[in-house]
């Protein structure tokens, strides 16, 4: 459990996890979710549990963000690193999605120019607490959760609470359990403290602590509480997936997963952010058009996935990575 993890392999294994997560989300949206909204003429298979790939992403973010503090010199650098990573690819993907939906139409998914402007801030979920705002793409709901998580991490470091992190996580866990059990509370509290998602971010942080911290018993105890608490937030199915993802993390930090370092999964993991931003609405439009010519169901899934991967690759390599390098050089 305390074995060191080679950095090169550590990052590749995290990308494998990201690759698996984005595949599951993509299959969920193209099969189950599309059928729920628009209906497949005939559905040979579906992937309803693929939606839990988002929870896996939250766990991965919890682990990776805390790991990244090894190389971050200040809170300002942390903020700028997140901004450089999130916004350039998001802006381009958002505008591509908006343009595609505007040209080809997608009932229930059209938005106004004002919605687009508000979405550019990535704060649309926060603003929607006070005004009527629509996501340019429904998949963008997760972005406000990442921002809330980054805000929590920022405050932990700003207040020098890293040495009291076990206590902070316990208080956070208790807070979201109370928010879940008490019905009539301001929605902004649920968003700030990540009522339904915070527990997965916490599990990711705790696995990083399990690798690095000497206080193993405290970490394992809180980790067990978090996993069991997923019953409150996701029922038995949520608990099963929390256990499954936790098992993968245990194998990972024990260095037992080198064999899954598949290049195709690593590649998908490396473009997973842009792929997540681009795949849903554009994929739905392609699926609709392919159904019109009665194409084979498997091709109806494979073709939009391929198009989304190509677009995500271009955005990752020509927008996201160059902008990350450009902006971070100016921070350092």
pLDDT of residue 185: 82
Residue 5 falls inside a structural domain: no
Rounded Cα distance, 210 and 198, in Å: 18
pLDDT tens by residue, 274-298: 999 999 999 999 999 999 999 999 9
Cα–Cα dist 214/69, whole Å: 18
- For the record, the structure tokens of 55 come out as 């929870």
Asked if the structure places residue 120 within a domain, the reply is yes
Q: Rounded to an integer, what distance in angstroms lies between the CA atom of residue 236 and that of residue 210?
A: 25
Which range marks the domain in which residue 39 is found? 12-329
**Where is average pLDDT lowest: 168-177, 215-224, 306-315?**
215-224
Query: How many domains does one find in the chain?
Result: 1
- 4 part of a folded domain: no
In a domain, 316, yes or no: yes
267 pLDDT higher than 90: yes
Q: CA 152 to CA 62: how far, in whole Å? A: 11
Most confident segment among 180-189, 226-235, 251-260: 226-235
Least confident range from 8-12, 37-41, 147-151, 251-255: namely: 8-12
What's the distance, CA 184 to chain centroid? 28
Say how far apart CA 10 and CA 134 lie, in whole Å. 38
pLDDT tens column, 66-101: 888 777 888 888 999 999 999 999 999 999 999 999
Question: What is the C-alpha separation between 151 and 128, in angstroms, rounded?
Answer: 19
Q: Is residue 3 a part of any domain in this protein?
A: no
289 burial via Cβ count (<10 Å: 0-12, 13-18, 19+): middle
Residue 212 has pLDDT above 70, yes or no: yes
Is 183 a residue whose pLDDT tops 80?
no
**Percent of the chain scoring above 90 in pLDDT:** 77
In a domain, 6, yes or no: no
- On whether residue 108 sits in a domain, the answer given is yes
- Scan for tokens 């010199």, then name that residue: 73
First to last CA, the chain: 34
| pLDDT attached to residue 214 | 64
């Amino acid at each position: 459990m305390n074995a060191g993890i080679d950095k090169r392999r550590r990052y590749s294994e995290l990308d494998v996890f990201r690759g698996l997560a984005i595949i599951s989300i993509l299959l969920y949206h193209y099969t189950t979710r599309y059928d729920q909204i628009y209906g497949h003429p005939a559905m040979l298979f579906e992937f309803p549990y693929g939606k839990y790939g988002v929870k896996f992403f939250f766990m991965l973010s919890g682990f990776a963000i805390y790991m990244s503090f090894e190389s971050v010199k200040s809170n300002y650098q942390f903020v700028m690193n997140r901004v450089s990573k999130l916004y350039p690819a998001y802006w381009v993907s958002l505008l591509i999605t908006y343009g595609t939906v505007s040209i080809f139409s997608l009932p229930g998914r059209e938005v106004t120019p004002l919605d687009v402007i508000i979405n550019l801030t990535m704060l649309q979920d926060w603003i929607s607490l006070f005004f009527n705002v629509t996501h340019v793409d429904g998949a963008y709901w997760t972005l406000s959760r990442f921002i809330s998580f980054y805000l929590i991490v920022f405050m932990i470091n700003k207040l020098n609470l890293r040495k009291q992190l076990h206590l902070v996580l316990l208080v956070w866990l208790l807070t979201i359990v109370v928010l879940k059990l008490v019905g009539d509370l301001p929605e902004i509290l649920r968003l700030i403290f990540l009522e339904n998602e915070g527990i997965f971010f916490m599990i990711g942080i705790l696995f990083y602590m399990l690798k690095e911290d000497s206080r193993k018993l405290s970490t394992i105890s809180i980790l067990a509480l978090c996993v069991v608490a997923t019953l409150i937030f996701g029922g038995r199915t949520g608990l099963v997936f929390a256990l499954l993802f936790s098992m993968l993390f245990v194998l990972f930090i024990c260095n037992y997963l080198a064999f899954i370092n598949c290049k195709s999964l690593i590649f998908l993991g490396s473009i997973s952010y842009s792929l997540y931003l681009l795949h849903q609405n554009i994929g739905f439009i392609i699926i609709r058009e392919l159904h019109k010519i009665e194409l084979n169901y498997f091709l109806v899934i494979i073709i939009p996935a391929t198009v989304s991967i190509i677009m995500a690759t271009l955005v990752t390599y020509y927008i996201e990575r160059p902008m990350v390098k450009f902006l971070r050089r100016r921070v350092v």
